[in-house]
Amino acid sequence: MVSGLRFTRPRRAAFLAALAAIPLLLPASLAAQTPAPAGVAAIATLPTFADLADRLIDAVVNISVERTVTLGTPDAPVPENFRGLFDDNGNPIQQVQGVGSGFVVDAAGIIVTNNHVIADADQIFAIFHDGSRLAATLVGTDPLNDIAVLRVAPPRPLVAVAFGSSEEVRVGDWVMAIGNPFGLGGTVTAGILSARGRDLGAGPFDNFLQTDTAINQGNSGGPLFNLQGEVIGINTAIFSDTGANAGVAFAVPSETASRIVAQILEFGQARRGQIGINIQDVTPGIAEAFGIAAARGALVSEVHRGTAAEAAGMRAGDIILSFNGRQVNAMRDLPRFVAETDVGTTVPVLVLREGVEQSLMVAVVEVEGNAPPVAIAGEATPRPVPFPEMTAEVLGFTLAPITPALRSEFEIAPSVTGGLVVTAVASSSLAAERGFQPGDVILRVGTAADQPPLATVAEIDARLVEELEAGRTVALLFVALPDGRTRFEWVRLEP
């Protein structure tokens, strides 16, 4: 009997009658042996994961790490006998252990896990399902995608698994995880793929798979399998207030992971490309300012000098609609597309420039270190403020031409030439709500890249009136930050 449930006889009879009408959900192996009672609908079956788990579990390892952490500054000199408990600066230290998961991708001893599992580790060990334990060395990491590759020296070939296609798995498909939750190694859980393309704000390449498979602390770095036994994701994060499974977990897709692992094995680090631009979101306000119907693509806010983008003729104000044949639906798509393109190739880039689509050929060159391939320019969250007329002062700006004194006061970079310096922003104004700060420099109004920088306050007022008279409800401002970076911002021209 189920605790907490109580039935009177009539209710119990009604419950059992209703239950008989529900199709049974049984594992496939049991359903094949169980005949359906008369009058019961056809039996729906669930897969059994036992054979799959048996085949794969030896390829999954527990990752054990040892780290030295500093506890604080001592209040007194350290006695000689206790030197081993303190670092070179006299700060007390402690050895701590961490756990995670990983999986073998090469029988010779190559293991994949998360970067955050082994970060700052003094020692790393791989513990196999049979209890054997091997010291691991770090081959390389990619912090931006949270991937690390380890190497062990096994006495005999290991059981290895292969990457499958995360693009082919569909939302609703069964998936299975094996890992080391809470240090409980060899734990098998199953669920479905809940969603794809999740952006967690963890980095420029966020494109996580989401699953309701039970994933907990210690599962990080472990594999997410499809029913063919292929790795379609690396379990990386959970959404939980308690740190325990809440039915929402995230994995790095295998399409990303397999490429990064191959690069680390060949080069010792991830090798990704860049084209030399800064970008920002095409918001509804930006789209309206450009006169386009839908907010899509990535807006180029700056083209760096001497880069492949400049050589290809790309301009600030271009909206990138596709990159190498892949549609850029949102700004966050572009850094991933560039990073996934082989270094040294030249690819077509479709841009929207002053209302006309143009195709450019852009070379992809290698980015240094772990910098993202495309920098992202920030944008404030809009909240329109009504106003009765159109001048910079009404918008909330106090502006002045650049002078040596203002350049020094606001530490404006020498690369910013011309334009009007924002010397003050009225509180509760539209300018304030759009995120403008003193020291910003408004270079021009509108989308025309050949427009000379603004020189007087009268010029910006006249340009705002021209935008309004042209029937536009918003105006686009091209703005330089004090450090020289540029971005586009929009302002509404009528309540």
In this predicted structure, what is the pLDDT of residue 253?
95
- Pairwise CA distance, residues 118 & 65, whole Å: 7
* Mean pLDDT over the full length of the chain: 81
Is 220 one of the catalytic residues?
A: yes
Neighbours of 162 (CB within 10 A): 13
Average pLDDT over residues 105-111: 96
Residue 141 pLDDT exceeds 80? yes
Mean of pLDDT values over 91-116: 84
pLDDT at 385 over 70: no
> In 3D, which of 285, 81, 251, 90 has the Cα closest to residue 163?
251
pLDDT on residue 5: 35
pLDDT, average across residues 1-27 = 40
What are the backbone angles phi and psi of residue 46, rounded to the nearest 5°?
A: -105, 150
Residue 279 class from Cβ within 10 Å (0-12 exposed, 13-18 middle, 19+ buried)?
Answer: buried
**In 153-257, at which residue ranges do the beta strands (DSSP E only) sit?**
174-179, 187-198, 208-211, 223-225, 231-238, 249-253
Segment 422-430 mean pLDDT:
85
Question: 369 has which bridge partners?
Answer: none
More confident residue, 169 or 366: 169
- Per-residue tokens: 134: 């091997």
Local confidence band at 95 (pLDDT 50, 70, 90 cut-offs): low
The catalytic residue among 64, 116, 212, 333 is 116
Q: Is the pLDDT of residue 260 over 90?
A: yes
pLDDT at 384 over 60: no
Query: Is the pLDDT score of 30 beyond 50?
Result: no
Alpha-carbon gap, residue 375 to 314, rounded angstroms: 15
What band does 232 get if pLDDT is binned at 50, 70 and 90? very high
Mean pLDDT of 444-451: 80
Q: Is pLDDT at 479 greater than 60 in this prediction?
A: yes
301 is catalytic: no
Choice between 356 and 15, residue whose per-residue pLDDT is larger: 356
Query: Residue 382 has what pLDDT?
Result: 34
Tell me what pLDDT residue 206 has: 77
pTM: 0.61
For residues 184 and 157, which has the higher predicted lDDT (pLDDT)? Answer: 157
Here the tokens at position 56 are 């794969």
Overall average pLDDT of the 331-342 stretch: 86
How does residue 17 score in pLDDT terms, banded at 50, 70 and 90?
very low
Res. 71: pLDDT tops 90:
no
- pLDDT mean over 318-323: 94
Mean pLDDT of 370-396: 51
Question: One of 146, 206, 212, 440 is an active-site residue; which one?
Answer: 146
Same topology between domain 49-271 and domain 273-376? no
pLDDT digits (tens, 9 = 90+) for 262-308: 999 998 988 888 898 999 989 888 888 888 888 899 999 889 888 89
CATH number of 392-492: 2.30.42.10
The pLDDT of residue 372: 55
Q: Check residue 387 and give its pLDDT.
A: 34
Q: Looking at residues 320-328, what average pLDDT do you find? A: 93
pLDDT attached to residue 24: 41
Which position has the token pair 């006998």?
A: 81
For the chain, report the end-to-end CA distance as a whole number of angstroms.
65
Residue 146 is among the residues annotated as catalytic for this protein: yes
Percentage of the chain exceeding pLDDT 70: 77
Q: What residue has token string 């599992």? A: 117
pLDDT for position 84? 46
Check whether domain 49-271 has CATH 2.40.10.120, yes or no: yes
Name the residue ranges covered by the structural domains of the chain: 9-46, 49-271, 273-376, 392-492
Select which of 220, 258, 301, 322 is catalytic.
220
pLDDT of residue 393: 80
Q: CATH number of the domain at 273-376, out of 3.90.220.20, 1.20.120.1810, 3.40.50.12780, 2.30.42.10?
A: 2.30.42.10
Average pLDDT over residues 325-344: 87
Separation of alpha carbons 210 and 189, rounded Å = 15
- Report the pLDDT value the prediction gives residue 102, as an integer from 0 to 100: 96
Q: Of 97-101, 222-226, 383-387, 471-475, which has the strongest mean pLDDT?
A: 222-226
| CB-based contacts of 313, cutoff 8 Å, min separation 6 | 360
Flag whether pLDDT at 492 surpasses 90.
no
Mean pLDDT of 32-38: 51
